[in-house]
Structure formats: C-alpha cells, structure tokens
Amino acid sequence: MKIDLGPGTPVLVVGAGIMGAGIAQVAAQAGHTVRLFDARDGAAAAACAKLELALEGLVAKGKIGADEAKATVARIRPAGRLDDAAGVGLVVEAIIENADAKRALFRELESKVDERCVLASNTSSISVTALANGLKAPGRFVGMHFFNPVPLMKLVEVVSGLETDPAVAQAIFELSQRWGKTPVHARSTPGFIVNRIARPYYAETLALLLERAAEPAVLDACLRGSGGFRMGPCELMDLIGHDTNFAVTESVFAANFFDKRFVPSLVQREMVDGGLLGRKSGRGFFSYPAPAASPPAAFEPEPVPAGAIVALHGGGVAVQRWAARLGEAGVAFESDPASRWNGLQTASGQLRLTDGRTATQVAAEEGVRDLALFDLATARNGGAPGVSLAFSMSAGASDAWRSEAGAWLRMAGWTPQEIGDAAGLVVARTVAMLVNEACDAVLQGVCTPEGADLAMKLGVNYPQGPFEFLAGWDAAAVVALLDRLDAHYRGERYRVSPELRRRAWPAPPAG
C-alpha cells in the first residue's frame, strides 16, 4: 500500500501539552495544516497562543523569517471536538502516559477517520503492540516517539508493533525526515532504544553511590571528563527529575518480567520518597539554584621525576601519554607492548588500567602490595588536559604509593579522583554496560547497531554511540570486564549479552 503523507496531508495532534504543542509546531513548519485537540477546555487554544509567541521569539532571534512564522501560525488551529479528525491523513497522539486513556482515544478515533489515515502515538514507554490490540486496523498504528523539546531534538524513534504495516512505519520514517528529524526504526520492546540503552548510565552511578565509592560530584566529573559525556549522571537525573527517571527505570524493570539487570536503585528510591526530586524541587544530588561555579584553575601537569625507573605495559591512551612525557623529559623507560596488562610499573608499585577486578583482588592475585588501578578514558584523545580520571588503591597499599600514583596520573594530564575500591571503576563499567545493553537490543532486533548509535547520540547527546565505543575498545576486553563484575557482584546485572560475547571471539586464521 502506498501511503502519501506529503505536506498536503492534514494532521491532527491530540494532547496539547509540552509534546503535543511541539509536534504541532514542527508539522506546521513543514507545511501541514494542523488541528490541535485537548480534552481540557481551552488547553488547545492556550497552546496555539503560546506557539505564536514562541515563533515570534524565533523571528526576533533571526532563526526564522516573519513570513514563515505567520504562515506556520496560520496553519495551526485548535480543534473543538474529536469529530474534527474527519479528513486528516495522520493523527499524532500525545496525551497522558496511560494505556487505558490512549486505547480509548484510538478506538474513538478509528470511527472518525477514514481508512487511509495513519494513527501514531508519542508514547515513551507503553507497548505499541498492546495499544494496537483491539483496533479494527492495527496495521496503520505506529509509535512516533519524539524527544523533548520537540522543535530542537532531532531524534524520532519510529516504533513498530507486531501488527504495524512496514509501509506505515516507512511512511512515518520518511515523514520525520521531511520534518527535519533523524528517524530510527525500533521494534516495540520496553524502553524502545534510548530509554533502554541509557539505563546503565544512571544505574552504574547509582550502584557506586550505594556502595559509597564516591560522591555524586566526583562521579559526574569523571564521566564528563575522561568519559567525555556532556552531562554527568547525577546532574542529569537532577535535571530529568528523580521521580520521572525512577518511573522509567521501574517500568523497564517491570516490563522485562523483573529481570534483575534492570533493578531500580535504593539510592534513587530514597530520594523520590524524600521529595528530593532534583531541580524542580530545589534539591536532588545537588542544591538549586546552583551556586555560581568558580572558573577551573589552570591545570599544570606534574613534572616527570628525573631518574625514575619505569616500565610501560600494554597500550592505550595512558600508556601513550606516559611514553610521550617520559620521552620529552629524556627519562629512559622499558616497554612491553605485548604485556597482559596496561599501565606502568615503577620501582615502588604498579598502576594498572582497570580490568573489572577490584584493586585489592588484583594485588592479591598478582602478588603486588603497592597497587593502584586507573579508569578507562573514552573521551576523544583521553580528554582535555586536567579532566578527571578515577583511580583506586588496593587495601594494603602505602600512602607513599597513593601519592606517587596520583602524581603519575597528573603527569599524564588528568586530575586524579580517588574513589573506593569498586570493581570496574566509573567510566569503564558504565561504558561496558551501555555497550552490553546495546548489543542485547540488536540481538533482539530492536534496532540496528547504526540505529543504536544514532539514537544515543541524538536522543541523549552521548559523545559516541555504543557501537562506536565498542569499536574504540576491544570486545574481548569488554566481555572480560563484565564477567569479572559479574563474578564480583553476582546476580544478573552484569550478564554478558550473547551478541557481545559473539563479537569477542577472534576470527580463526585463514586457510
């Protein structure tokens, strides 16, 4: 069936809240006439008036021309009744996130629109398959998941349920492109792409907070710094609101039959129970309004001690940085690129890249008393000079080694942040878990690897998609790290995705 959703197609948006108003604006800017309906009296008219002001604001900022704004406003009209749906070619629903309310609405709509009209829902968590159940023509029903704020966020997850006609999903995909968006196909599974793959970004930090490995500001600094993420998980949860973030985690957990991989956090539950909801309540992990931040002090890397006895093991950004600094300082060093571990050995102790074991475990198993672990740096080139990198000490290590290890990390250009002896440190375990979740999503046909990368970069502003992280790492090392986390914590959270394990096997030699 050829579905025509060209600019001549009239659109009905149902729900004139924050999302519905944004969807109406984007559709009208793309040339569609739009009717906006809301069950609450006056809500649609109020949203239209607000949109007019928003468009005037864009004109004042020089983002759009006055004529375009005027034409856009003229294309959007409030609808008094659902009967106004007659004649539209597309309905986009953005009412409250309640399955019964949405189902009732679509059933009613079905009797008012003609048979060629596409029905789309902006639900962020309800199964598209379940919403379609009971419709006379479930094939024309599809998820069209926008992100907030709609006019600015590029991503649209085009979500197909079991009955969605592929031609309908494709028509919505192409329509999203014409609306200036970047669509990604997704299968209707809990959390779709973004809300599912993003869970570990919060969960790993919450797990580290539960075991009191570090303060929120330190975890944020590491993930922003050496991790390269735009926002740390704690400030991000404060922004989203802990109630909202917790509700999404709970819904993904329940929808996965309470798979322990998705178990919510006691730390966040307590914050929700206590009303510490983040920015909107004035307090979450941090207080709001936030005190003005003082400009960061200029970072001075530590000088290389003359005559230091150093051997570099393996590779990676830290080893490369040390090699460069030692070379510049004219300090001789040994190098063993084929070593089974990455890091440096001095006359006093060892500083190793985390492999998923605790520092105390590595010290015991490798027979090294003065041992420290440092975190993976996934930011471009390891991050700008002075960004934070986590490190941890083995239980028996000396204070002298603690300060020497810190000095070596500063020498390599990082601000070292000592955290408790937690397995997998901060960035390594978080990124490994994002990769793992993305692999499971691909395994289950939720999306393609390219779709996962696009969705995470556009939907939550990740600096790299999960498969890009994986390409810059090593699947076997990620599997080894997760297996060690699994052995350390037990339970299901660190269960390795069969897709990731498959990618970790080396190809046999040719012939």
Ligand X SMILES: NC(=O)c1ccc[n+]([C@@H]2O[C@H](COP(=O)([O-])OP(=O)(O)OC[C@H]3O[C@@H](n4cnc5c(N)ncnc54)[C@H](O)[C@@H]3O)[C@@H](O)[C@H]2O)c1
Catalytic residue positions? Answer: 124, 145, 157, 195
The answer to whether residue 101 forms part of the interface with ligand X (CB under 6 A) is yes
For Cα atoms 498, 502, 506, give the angle at the middle one, nearest 5 degrees.
155
Closer to ligand X by Cβ: residue 101 or 167: 101
Binding region for ligand X (CB under 6 A) out of 118-126, 129-137, 205-213, 306-314 = 118-126
Minimum CB separation of residue 251 from ligand X in Å reads 10
Question: What are the C-alpha distances in Å from 309 to residues 150, 371, 408?
Answer: 57, 16, 12
Q: Which of 97, 366, 418, 486 binds ligand X (CB under 6 A)?
A: 97
Closest chain position to ligand X (CB): 17
Closer to ligand X by Cβ: residue 123 or 394: 123
The answer to whether residue 135 forms part of the interface with ligand X (CB under 6 A) is no
User: For the chain, what is the total number of helices (H) and then of strands (E)?
Assistant: 20, 15
Binding region for ligand X (CB under 6 A) out of 65-73, 117-125, 302-310, 371-379 = 117-125
The answer to whether residue 124 forms part of the interface with ligand X (CB under 6 A) is yes
Closer to ligand X by Cβ: residue 107 or 230: 107
The answer to whether residue 94 forms part of the interface with ligand X (CB under 6 A) is yes
Minimum CB separation of residue 196 from ligand X in Å reads 14
The answer to whether residue 264 forms part of the interface with ligand X (CB under 6 A) is no
Question: What are the C-alpha distances in Å from 445 to residues 56, 138, 160, 333, 472?
Answer: 43, 21, 11, 49, 23
Closer to ligand X by Cβ: residue 101 or 364: 101
What would the two tokens of residue 476 be? 């076997």
Minimum CB separation of residue 147 from ligand X in Å reads 6
Phi and psi, residue 335, nearest 5°: -140, 135
d(CA 157, CA 143): 7
Q: Which of 24, 34, 95, 310 binds ligand X (CB under 6 A)?
A: 95
Minimum CB separation of residue 97 from ligand X in Å reads 4
The answer to whether residue 151 forms part of the interface with ligand X (CB under 6 A) is no
The answer to whether residue 123 forms part of the interface with ligand X (CB under 6 A) is yes
Which residues 6+ apart lie within 8 Å of 191 measured at CB?
Answer: 125, 197, 199, 248, 251, 252, 255
Q: Is the peptide bond before 183 cis (omega within 30 degrees of 0)?
A: no
Minimum CB separation of residue 441 from ligand X in Å reads 18
Minimum CB separation of residue 197 from ligand X in Å reads 16
Of 118, 72, 110, nearest in space to 92 by CA:
118
Closer to ligand X by Cβ: residue 108 or 334: 108
Stretch (H or E) spanning 350:
strand 350-353
Closer to ligand X by Cβ: residue 94 or 132: 94
Helix residue spans in 444-473 (DSSP H) = 449-459, 466-471
Minimum CB separation of residue 261 from ligand X in Å reads 23
Minimum CB separation of residue 265 from ligand X in Å reads 21
Q: Which of 25, 29, 122, 392 binds ligand X (CB under 6 A)?
A: 122
Which residues 6+ apart lie within 8 Å of 86 measured at CB?
Answer: 112, 113, 114
289 burial via Cβ count (<10 Å: 0-12, 13-18, 19+):
exposed
The answer to whether 189 touches 250, Cβ cutoff 8 Å, is no
Q: Which of 5, 105, 389, 425 binds ligand X (CB under 6 A)?
A: 105
Segment 41 to 70, residues that bind ligand X, using CB under 6 A? 43
Binding region for ligand X (CB under 6 A) out of 71-79, 119-127, 191-199, 499-507 = 119-127
How many residues can be counted in the chain?
Answer: 511
The answer to whether residue 99 forms part of the interface with ligand X (CB under 6 A) is no
Of 276, 286, 288, nearest in space to 243 by CA:
276
Of 33, 430, 393, 464, nearest in space to 220 by CA:
430
Phi and psi, residue 291, nearest 5°: -65, 145
Of 74, 77, 58, nearest in space to 66 by CA:
58
Closer to ligand X by Cβ: residue 146 or 462: 146
Closer to ligand X by Cβ: residue 122 or 354: 122
Minimum CB separation of residue 154 from ligand X in Å reads 14
Closer to ligand X by Cβ: residue 172 or 485: 172
d(CA 338, CA 131): 55
Give the up-direction half-sphere exposure of residue 408: CA atoms within 13 A in the CB hemisphere.
33
Binding mask 8-47 for ligand X (x = CB under 6 A): ------xxxxxxx-----------------xxx--x----
Using CB under 6 A, list all residues that contact ligand X.
14-20, 38-40, 43, 94-97, 101, 105, 122-124, 146-148
